[in-house]
Amino acid sequence: MSKCVFICPIGIIASDIIDRLMACVEERCGINCEIYPPMETPRYAYDDRRFQYDSKMILKQMIKQCPPHNLGFMGVTALDLFVPILKYVYGLSQLDGRCSLISTYRLDPALYGEPPDSDLLMSRIGKTAIHELGHSFGLTHCRNPRCIMFASTKIEHTDFKQPTLCSTCLEVLKWKIKMM
Amino acid sequence: MQTTGSENRLKRQYQPCIWMQAGVVDHKLCHEDYNCPRCRYDRVMNNLAEENISLKRSGIIPFGKRGRIVSWKERLLARPLSKRPCIHHMKGRIEFRLCHMEYRCGSCDFDQFFDDQYSVHAVVRPVDVLDVKGFKIPQGYYFHQGHTWMKIEESSSVRIGIDDFALRLLGPLDKIEAPLVGREIRQGRGDISIARGKNTARMLSPVSGIVTSINSTLREDGCLANRNPYSEGWVMMVRPDSLRMDMKNLMIHNESSAFMDKQVDLLCREIEEVAGPMTTDGGFFGDDIFGNMPQLEWGRLAKVFLRT
Ligand SMILES: [Zn+2]
Ligand SMILES: [Zn+2]
C-alpha cells in the first residue's frame, strides 16, 4: 500500500466535510487520503474559562496515537481551538512531524454573520489543511500573502491566499522531499 | 479635567461579575470593567439561558449545571422588589439603589441621567481606534518607543499612560507607580515603575514636565490599566515644559501603527527564539503573553520592548 495522509475526525463533524476535504487534498497535493477511526470529543482539553479547547493537548494525544507508515496524521474538528498565548487557532502542526490538527469553527461564514456558503467554507478548510500539511513537510511561514504558507491571523488572510504554494515555497518543498 | 471614572467608583478589591451577583453562577469575576456588550462570557451565558428557555418551550427539561442557567435579569426578578439592586450599583458606580423598572434600562430615566452624568466625569474613551495585528492604537494619541503614550488635554496638560501592547505583553500588573505630584519627569527616563508578582520594570516617560495628578488606583490595582489602557487606566497628568521638542520624538497616526506592526513581528521572532518556529495558525495575541510563556523572560521583554 502506498503511503497516505490519515484524516481523523475529532468530536462531532459532518461527514461530507471530511469527504470533501479528502477529495481536495488528493486533488491538490496528489496524495492519497484515508479516513481514520474518529476520536471522541476531547473533554480533557476543554478550558471552562475560555469556552475553548486547548489545541496543544489534543495534538499531544494525536502524537501518542499516530499510526505508523503514513505521510501525515491530521485531526479535523468543529470545536473552537486555542493555544494559551493566542485568542484562537485555525490549525497547528508538528514542524517536521506528521501530526496536525485543524478546526472548522472559525472558518464557517456563519460565524461572521454571513449567509451559509459551503463552497467558501470548503475552500477555507482546504487551504488550512494544506497549510498544515506544508508544516508537516517542514515548511515554515512565508511572507507572501498570496502563498498558502502565509500565516493567517484573521479570516481575510485565509480568503486572500491562493490555494497553492508560491514558487519559493514549492522549491523548498521539492528539496525537502528529496532529502526525506 | 482630572477626575476619572475609576475614582467615581466605590472601591472594591474584586469586581464580581453581574452573573455572580445575581446568583446564577457561584464565582466569576469581571475582567471587562462591566462593559457587558463587549464580554464574551456574557454572550455565552445569554445564549445558554435562551437555549434553556427554548428547550423548556418544546417540553424538554434541561438538566445539570448548564440546565439551571437562566438570565441574570430573570434570576433577579424572582427576588422581591426590595431586593433588586440597580445595575449601576452592581457595577460599583453608585451607592445602593433599587431597580423599579424590572431591569428595562432602555426605558429608565435614571439610567439615561446616570449615563449622561457619568460620561462627564469619566475619562473620554477614544473613539477612533486602529487595530494593528490585534493591538489597539487610538487616534490622537502620541506614542513613545518604550510603549508609553501621551495625549494632549485641555489647560496645557497632557495625560500619560501605558499602551495596549506592553500591557498585554507583560500581562495583568499588580501595581503601577508614577512619581508623586510635583515631581519632575524627563522624556526617555524610566520614571514609571510597574510590578507583577516579584517581577518589576521601569517604563520611559514620553514627555518632560511636572506631575500634576496621578491615578492612585493603579497602586493597588494595576490591572485597571490592562482593562482600559487608553482611558480609566491612565497613569499620570503632566504639565509639560518642552512639548514641541518632545513631540518630535513621539509617533502618531501611520508612524505609530507601522511601529506597532514591527513590534508584533519582533515579538513573533522572540517567541520563535524560545519556543521554536511557530506552527500554530490563528488569532491575535491574548491578554497575557508573558504569563502564558514565561520562558520569554521578564527581564528580556523589558529590555527589548520597554527599552529599560
Ligand atoms: Zn510561499
Ligand atoms: Zn502555519
Is A88 part of the contact surface with chain B (CB cutoff 8 Å)?
yes
Tell if the pTM clears 0.90, that is, is over it: no
* Percent of chain A at pLDDT exceeding 70: 98
In DSSP terms, which residues pair with A143 in a beta bridge? none
Min CA distance, B280 vs chain A (Å)? Answer: 4
Best A79, A86, A161 member to test B by mutation, with max B CBs in 10 Å, is A86
On whether any CB of chain A is under 8 Å from the CB of B293, the answer is: yes
Round the average pLDDT of chain A to a whole number and report it: 92
Is residue A118's pLDDT more than 70?
yes
pLDDT digits (tens, 9 = 90+) for B153-209: 866 789 999 999 999 999 999 999 999 999 999 999 999 999 999 999 999 999 999
Within this chain, do residues B164 and B302 fall inside the same structural domain, yes or no? yes
> Which residues on chain B are in Cβ contact (under 8 Å) with A91?
280-282
Q: CA of A2 to nearest chain B CA: how many angstroms apart?
A: 27
B66 and B47 together in one domain: yes
The answer to whether B277 faces chain A, any CB pair under 8 Å, is yes
Cα B277 to ligand 1 centroid, rounded to whole Å:
15
Q: Are residues B96 and B194 in the same domain?
A: no
- A172 CA distance to ligand 1 centroid (A)? 9
Ligand 2 centroid to residue A141 C-alpha, Å: 6
Catalytic residues of A: 132
Kindly state whether residues B135 and B95 are assigned to the same domain.
Answer: no
Q: Is B278 on the interface with A (CB under 8 A)?
A: yes
Q: Which domain holds residue A113?
A: 4-179
Beta bridge partners of A5: A33, A72
A87 vs B281: CB contact, 8 Å cut-off? no
Q: What is the pLDDT along chain B (308 residues), one digit of tens a residue?
A: 343 444 344 444 568 999 999 999 989 988 877 877 778 899 899 889 988 888 888 888 888 888 889 999 999 999 888 888 988 888 876 777 888 888 887 666 666 555 544 433 346 677 788 889 999 999 889 999 999 999 998 667 899 999 999 999 999 999 999 999 999 999 999 999 999 999 999 999 999 999 999 999 999 999 999 999 999 999 999 999 999 999 999 999 899 999 999 999 999 999 989 988 778 888 889 999 999 999 999 999 999 999 99
pLDDT digits (tens, 9 = 90+) for A136-174: 888 989 999 999 999 999 999 999 999 999 999 999 988
The residue from B103, B136, B159 where one domain ends is: B103
Q: What is the pLDDT of residue B123?
A: 63
Number of structural domains, chain A?
A: 1
Question: Do B172 and B202 fall within a single domain?
Answer: yes
Do B163 and B46 share a structural domain? Answer: no
ipTM for this model: 0.82
Which of A81, A85, A94 is closest, CB to CB, to B289?
A85
- Same structural domain, B267 and B174: yes
A15-57 per-position pLDDT tens digit: 999 999 999 999 988 889 999 999 999 999 999 888 999 999 9
Task: With beta carbons less than 8 A apart as the criterion, state whether A8 and A73 touch.
Answer: yes
The nearest CA of chain A is from the CA of B95 a distance in Å of 30
Q: Which grid coordinates are listed for A35? A: 479516513
CA dihedral B16→B20→B26→B28, nearest 10 degrees, is -50
Q: What is the pLDDT of residue B282?
A: 85
Q: What CA–CA distance (Å, rounded) separates B308 from B305?
A: 8
Domain match, B116 and B247 both: yes
CATH number at residue B289: 2.40.50.100
Residue B120 is predicted with a pLDDT of: 34
What spacing in Å lies between the alpha carbon of A23 and ligand 2's midpoint?
Answer: 22
Query: Helix crossing, A118-136 with A15-29: angle to 10°?
Result: 60
- Identify the CATH number of the domain in which residue A65 sits: 3.40.390.10
Residues B95 and B136 in one domain: no
Burial B279-292 (b: 16+ CB within 10 A, else e): bbbbbbbbbbbbbe
**Cα separations (Å) of B187 from A113, B149, B160, B201?**
46, 11, 12, 17
Of B40, B277, B281, the CB nearest to A91: B281
- Residues 25 through 54 of chain B touching chain A, CB cutoff 8 Å: 40-41, 44
Amino acid B3: pLDDT: 38
Ligand approaching nearest to the C-alpha of A128: 2
- CB-CB contact of A16 with A46 (8 Å): no
Q: What is the DSSP letter of B194?
A: E
Return the residue of A nearest to B133 by Cα: A153
Closest among B71, B204, B68, B99 to B147, alpha carbons compared: B204
Instruction: Count interface pairs A-B at CB distance under 8 A.
Output: 73
User: What dihedral do alpha carbons B158, B164, B168, B170 form, nearest 10°?
Assistant: -30
* Of B103, B123, B149, the domain-final residue: B103
pLDDT given at position B64? 83
Output the nine-digit C-alpha cell for B251: 509617533
User: What residues make up the domain containing B77?
Assistant: 5-103
> So what's the pLDDT on residue B119?
37
Alpha carbon distances (Å) from B40 to A71, A78, B145, B171, B299: 39, 19, 32, 19, 33
Domain count, chain B: 2
Separation of B141 CA from ligand 1 center, angstroms?
A: 36
Task: Count how many residues are written for chain B.
Answer: 308
**pLDDT of B176:** 97
Q: Quick one: B205 and B259 in the same domain?
A: yes
- Cell numbers that stand for A61 in this block: 494525544
A86 to B40: CB separation less than 8 angstroms, yes or no: no
CA distance B146 to B190: 9
CA of A130 to the centre of ligand 2 (A): 10
What residues sit around ligand 1, an ion, with C-beta below 5 angstroms? Answer: A 142, 144, 147, 149, 166, 169
DSSP letters for B138-168: ETT-EE-TTSEEEEEETTTEEEEEE-HHHHH
Together in a domain, B160 and B113: yes
Between CA B257 and CA B255 the distance in angstroms is: 6
B286 contact A CB<8A: yes
Do B114 and B50 belong to one domain? no
Cβ of A51 within 8 Å of Cβ of B44? The answer is yes
Mean of the pLDDT values across residues A99-115?
93
User: Is A137 in CB contact (< 8 Å) with chain B?
Assistant: no
Ligand nearest to the CA of A148: 1
